[in-house]
Amino acid sequence: MAEERIDVRELLAALPAAAAVIAEDGLVLEVNPAFLRACARPGAAREALAGRRLADLEDSLDPSLCRLLEQASRAAGRLHLRGITVWRPGEERGVRFDVEAAPLGGGARAALVLIAPQGADSRAEVEARLLDRFCWLGATAAGIAHDVNNQLTATLSTASALREELGPDSPCERSLELIEDSAREAAALAHRLLRFAGRGEPEIVVEPLARVIERALLLIRHELPPAERFAVEIAEDLGSVRGDPIQLEQVVVALALLTAGALGERGRARLRARNAILAAGSAADGRALLPGACACLEIEVEGALAAAPAALPEVIRRIAAEHGGAAETRARAGGVTHVLFLPLAGAARAAPRREAPAAEALARPWRALLLIVDDDKTVRDVTAAMAERLGFRTLTAAGGLEALDVLARERESIDLVLLDLVMSDLDGISTLRRMREIRPDVKVVVSTGYSGGSAAPLLVEERIEGTLEKPYSLAALAAALRGALG
């Protein structure tokens, strides 16, 4: 038996990579010199590790590295982990590892673990990677929301036009009303996606925190571990908070992704959200908190491969502070807890306002010539049909460049342009400015998937006659065009 042990030691010593043999119960059977140099605390010798359990090695190995080795030793098959960052207590930089593990054959209930240090990470570098992930999510969300808005424009416009055509006594009235309501709800989701991507201005409202959490987790559900390893518990009486729901969703997304990235294959987390009462003198993230009722969101992390950094990324802490709360990470035995405090608000959110019927617009048809510019064919066709129902004559253009050609050709005939703000060949703002070069007095209404408030500066800066928020109904189209023509 002693001879076999010597052979193992010699084999490991010849490996250039840091290597260890770990029993599935966490007993360290052997380590090589490269492991001692790369992973152990300075001055640690082989005798301080071999023959001891990982749980008892905090004097020689970082606790986070012990958890990583324990998970690797218990893997049922080969294990490949890339870019696992281990944060050492009290240090501003963490060490990034790649890990390979494979069970030993011959009935041995142990695994050979190879660890390759890949450099060090500062908190700024970790935050930058998290920000890159946000940017990717944002760009994806913006693209999806733009396309969805175009399809919803066709749906809502057609349904509203049919309701006006058939009248309130039609047997289809209720069905068409349901279609319109569903389209508006889907449009609200698309607008949230656009604002999550950083488009549009902040909107301060009173929103149930449970709804914020549910929407955030739904957005990244494919990035999270299964429910048995990432449990979610939201109290039924969880209150509402005042603030920008999209920014709060970003905080929940960031906390969840930060947790999921550290769990590995065996770590577990539990997200709990509940109401709490803060006593006088309460503090978090180095800031005093206002005493009284608050909402508390906690993510408890157990058995993670890598410990979380001592402080959460600045973006999370900043948004929490701007909403009158605080966010921090608290160390505890066996893991960490990410905590978010937000003050509760009592007011209810206003119900959405229904649009007035388009009967007035239909009763007063125009014979003006309208140029419709949109790179989505469905939107162009449906909008043209609605405008013609309102009495307009129409021309269409599939993009900014074609619109410039049409305007140059029909220079004096066109009374009004309905211009999409986001197009693939030439964006709406560039198209508008070049239109002014062809005809300085051309009247323009900008169609956009963003909220009307975020497009409002265009009214002054670019001298446009109005904005029309997608998706729009027949009544909204009529009001925008009537307002532009006076």
CA torsion 302-306-308-314 (nearest 10°) is -140
Q: Is 152 exposed, middle or buried (0-12, 13-18, 19+ CB in 10 A)?
A: buried
CA gap 454, 459 in Å, rounded: 11
Q: Spell out the alpha helix ranges (H) of 197-313.
A: 209-219, 245-263
434 and 454 Cβ atoms separated by less than 8 Å: no
Q: What's 359-485's CATH class?
A: alpha beta
**DSSP secondary structure letters along 129-148:** HHHHHHHHHHHHHHHHHHHH
- Within 8 A by CB and 6+ apart from 331, the residues are 310
Superfamily of domain 201-345: Histidine kinase-like ATPase, C-terminal domain (3.30.565.10)
The number of residues in the chain equals: 486
| Tokens 């640690």 found at | 44
Tell me which residue of 437, 141, 123, 449 sits closest to 310, measured CA to CA.
123
| Tokens 């955030």 found at | 216
- Within 8 A by CB and 6+ apart from 370, the residues are 387, 392, 393, 394, 395, 414, 415, 416, 417, 418, 481
3-state secondary structure of 444: strand
pLDDT in tens, the chain (486 residues): 444 444 678 888 888 888 899 988 889 999 999 888 877 877 788 888 999 998 888 777 876 677 778 777 776 667 777 766 665 544 556 667 778 888 876 666 788 888 877 766 655 565 566 556 666 666 666 677 777 777 888 888 888 888 888 888 888 888 888 888 888 877 777 776 666 665 556 678 899 999 999 988 987 887 788 888 899 999 999 999 998 888 898 889 888 887 887 776 667 889 999 998 887 777 776 677 777 889 999 998 876 555 445 457 777 888 888 888 888 888 766 677 889 999 998 633 334 444 545 545 444 556 789 999 998 888 888 899 889 888 899 999 999 999 999 999 998 899 999 999 888 888 888 899 999 999 998 899 998 876 544 454 555 577 788 888 888 888 889 888 988 887
pLDDT value of residue 290: 74
pLDDT value of residue 209: 94
Domain residue spans of the chain:
2-121, 201-345, 359-485
Q: Which helix (H) or strand (E) holds 373?
A: strand 369-373
Pair of tokens at residue 223: 């990035």
Backbone angles phi, psi at 359, to 5 degrees: -60, -40
3-state secondary structure of 68: helix
Distances (CA, A) of 144 to 111, 138, 155, 203, 276: 45, 10, 17, 21, 37
397 and 375 Cβ atoms separated by less than 8 Å: no
Q: 78's torsion region: left (phi>0), alpha (psi -120 to 50) or beta?
A: beta
What pTM was estimated for this model as a whole?
0.49
CA gap 389, 86 in Å, rounded: 65
Pair of tokens at residue 448: 């956009």
Cis omega before residue 471 (within 30°)? yes
Annotation: CATH topology of 2-121: Beta-Lactamase (3.30.450)
110 and 22 Cβ atoms separated by less than 8 Å: yes
